[in-house]
């Protein structure tokens, strides 16, 4: 059971403010409290829980909205006297009038009164209270924005507006609002990380140990396709979203992601390095990278993580090549499986170079041109990748040899949300959602810190 939060110790000024808010709330919420009591009085044990809970929640939200209104109504409302500095040109801005703004909060709509200042020099107007409250021109409050962005990161924008938010959270916003808010938050996450910001504070991550007793940190990267719209509603060639991750083997939740579409992996290097430093990359005795051999990935890994002492080719990625080649040699499925399994066993226990020599010794002179070409491609692949297939050494050191975590990251960070049937994305929206999903899938402390930290 969750522990009840202790009441804060108030200063004399805060106690006076609490008394004011309490006095304002009592008459404002009296009708809601009566409605709540009447509702519960009509229920017995068979229907007090269930649908009634949501009805109670809605009434409690109305009370919460009135509490916020009571708190906000008795304050200065951003009035700083006259004049004040114009944020656009820094000239003098005069108080013009009071303006009311309806704001969707996590507990319902609240009217906020704000002092409006007008600059006679550049004719720009502004409300200082909007900055203090974190209000934008059209978006919900900070709390509601967090709920809306979370819903938009987890499900389609239409589903979030129609299903995810109304019932569980009691929030009613349009599909366009969910889309706009989610993408704005994602852009902000990307911009702040691009500027060198990390979230969650430094942590003493516990790196797992290899067979030699030394701690090992893992880093990996991959890319996955995202659908793009074509002309006149058609389908265009997709773009690749890049995913980078730093993690500790066997420690669920101890992982940091960086993900984006614009700029590819190159744009994510500094962000992932900063996160690795945040979790104590210097304390790991060894750094190991795992890759599927994609173009440019190893170079990116070595440039951004120079302590990496081995870039391991994903064991299962190479197994797919062997499986396809076995089908060329053996039309019978069982024979093909046996052949592929034998090569994989040798590769795991004797290394990639041994298998490469074995494959090179196969005589394909009497086979079709397609078979000869498949053999040539296979040998080129193994010739390029054999130095990354020293699996007996990797296994002796207790290192991972499969890129399962980053393959899962591509699915969890990108695929689960952005590769649904018929989904098509503009570049800016896809990039924003990639950044937000990376934050969502990373450690909880990162998400919590983002929402409580001021914007860069």
d(CA 18, CA 24): 10
User: Please, which residues bridge with residue 105 across strands?
Assistant: 108
> Of the candidates 393, 418, 448, which is a domain's last residue?
393
| Residue 39 included in any domain | yes
Q: The domain containing residue 67 runs over which residues? A: 19-73
The pLDDT value recorded for residue 401 is 92
The count of domains in the chain is 2
Closest by Cα among 264, 271, 254, 261 to 297: 264
20 contacts: CB under 8 Å, gap ≥ 6 = 74
Burial of 297 (0-12, 13-18, 19+ CB in 10 A): buried
Three-class secondary structure of residue 170 per DSSP: coil
H, E, C per residue of 282-310: HHCCEEEEEECCCCCHHHHHHHHCCCEEE
Token pair recorded at residue 135: 């209000």
| Residue 377 included in any domain | yes
| Residue 119 included in any domain | no
For the chain, which residues score pLDDT lower than 70?
Answer: 1-6, 204-205, 231-236, 454-456
d(CA 330, CA 349): 24
The pLDDT value recorded for residue 456 is 40
Are the CB atoms for 406 and 290 separated by under 8 Å? yes
What region, left, alpha or beta, does residue 95 occupy, with left being phi > 0 and alpha being psi -120 to 50 degrees?
Answer: beta
d(CA 122, CA 106): 36
| Residue 456 included in any domain | no
Q: In angstroms, how far is CA 306 from the centroid of its own chain?
A: 26
DSSP-derived pairing of the beta strands 286-291 and 215-229: parallel
d(CA 384, CA 406): 22
Are the CB atoms for 364 and 375 separated by under 8 Å? yes
The pLDDT value recorded for residue 420 is 86
| Residue 335 included in any domain | yes
> Of the candidates 393, 418, 437, which is a domain's last residue?
393
| Residue 66 included in any domain | yes
Integer CA distances (angstroms), 177 to 135, 148, 169, 371, 428, in order: 15, 8, 16, 55, 16
User: Please, which residues bridge with residue 119 across strands?
Assistant: 93
- The upper half-sphere exposure of residue 208, i.e. CA atoms within 13 Å in the direction of its Cβ, equals 17
d(CA 308, CA 288): 5
Closest by Cα among 223, 225, 218 to 246: 218
Q: In angstroms, how far is CA 203 from the centroid of its own chain?
A: 19
| Residue 365 included in any domain | yes
| Residue 346 included in any domain | yes
285 contacts: CB under 8 Å, gap ≥ 6 = 207, 214, 215, 216
The overall average pLDDT reported for the chain is 91
The pLDDT value recorded for residue 453 is 82
Burial of 157 (0-12, 13-18, 19+ CB in 10 A): buried
333 contacts: CB under 8 Å, gap ≥ 6 = 327
**Integer-rounded Cα radius of gyration of the chain:** 29
DSSP state string for 10-35: PPHHHHHHHHHHHHHHHHHHHHHHHH
Three-class secondary structure of residue 211 per DSSP: coil
Are the CB atoms for 400 and 288 separated by under 8 Å? yes
> Of the candidates 374, 393, 412, which is a domain's last residue?
393
């Amino acid at each position: 059971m969750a522990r009840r939060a202790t009441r804060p110790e108030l200063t004399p000024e805060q106690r006076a403010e609490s008394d004011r808010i309490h006095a304002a709330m009592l008459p404002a919420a009296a009708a809601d409290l009566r409605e709540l009591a009447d509702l519960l009085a009509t229920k017995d044990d068979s229907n007090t829980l269930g649908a009634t809970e949501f009805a109670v929640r809605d009434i409690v939200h109305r009370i919460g909205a009135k509490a916020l209104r009571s708190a906000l109504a008795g304050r200065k409302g951003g009035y700083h006297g006259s004049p004040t500095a114009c944020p656009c040109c820094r000239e003098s801005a005069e108080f013009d009038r009071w303006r009311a703004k309806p704001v969707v909060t996590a507990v319902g709509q609240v009217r906020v009164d704000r002092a409006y200042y007008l600059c006679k020099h550049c004719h720009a107007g502004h409300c200082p209270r909007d900055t203090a409250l974190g209000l934008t021109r059209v978006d919900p409050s900070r709390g509601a924005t967090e709920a809306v962005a979370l819903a938009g990161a987890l499900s389609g924008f239409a589903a979030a507006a129609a299903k995810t938010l109304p019932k569980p959270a009691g929030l009613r916003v349009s599909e366009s609002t969910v889309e706009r808010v989610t993408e704005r938050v994602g852009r902000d996450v990307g911009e702040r990380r691009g500027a060198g910001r990390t979230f969650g504070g430094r942590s003493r991550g516990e790196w797992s140990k290899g067979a030699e007793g030394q701690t090992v940190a893992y880093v990996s990267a991959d890319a996955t396709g995202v659908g793009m719209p074509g002309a006149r509603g058609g389908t265009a060639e997709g773009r690749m979203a890049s995913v980078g991750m730093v993690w500790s083997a066997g420690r669920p939740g101890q992982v940091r992601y960086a993900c984006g579409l614009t700029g590819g992996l190159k744009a994510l290097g500094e962000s992932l390095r900063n996160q690795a430093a945040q979790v104590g990359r210097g304390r790991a005795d060894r750094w190991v990278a795992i890759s599927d051999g994609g173009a440019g990935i190893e170079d990116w890994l070595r440039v951004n993580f120079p302590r990496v002492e081995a870039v391991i080719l994903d064991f299962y990625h190479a197994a797919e090549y062997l499986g396809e080649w076995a089908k060329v040699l053996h039309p019978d499925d069982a024979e093909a499986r046996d052949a592929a399994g034998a090569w994989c066993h040798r590769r795991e226990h004797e290394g990639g170079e041994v298998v490469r020599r074995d494959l090179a010794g196969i005589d394909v002179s009497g086979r079709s041109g397609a078979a000869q070409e498949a053999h040539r491609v296979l040998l080129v692949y193994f010739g390029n990748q054999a130095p990354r297939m020293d699996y007996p050494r990797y296994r002796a050191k207790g290192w991972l040899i499969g890129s399962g975590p980053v393959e899962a990251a591509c699915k969890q960070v990108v695929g689960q949300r952005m590769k649904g049937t018929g989904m098509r994305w503009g570049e800016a929206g896809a990039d924003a959602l990639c950044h937000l999903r990376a934050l969502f899938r990373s450690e909880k402390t990162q998400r919590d810190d983002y929402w409580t930290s001021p914007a860069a």
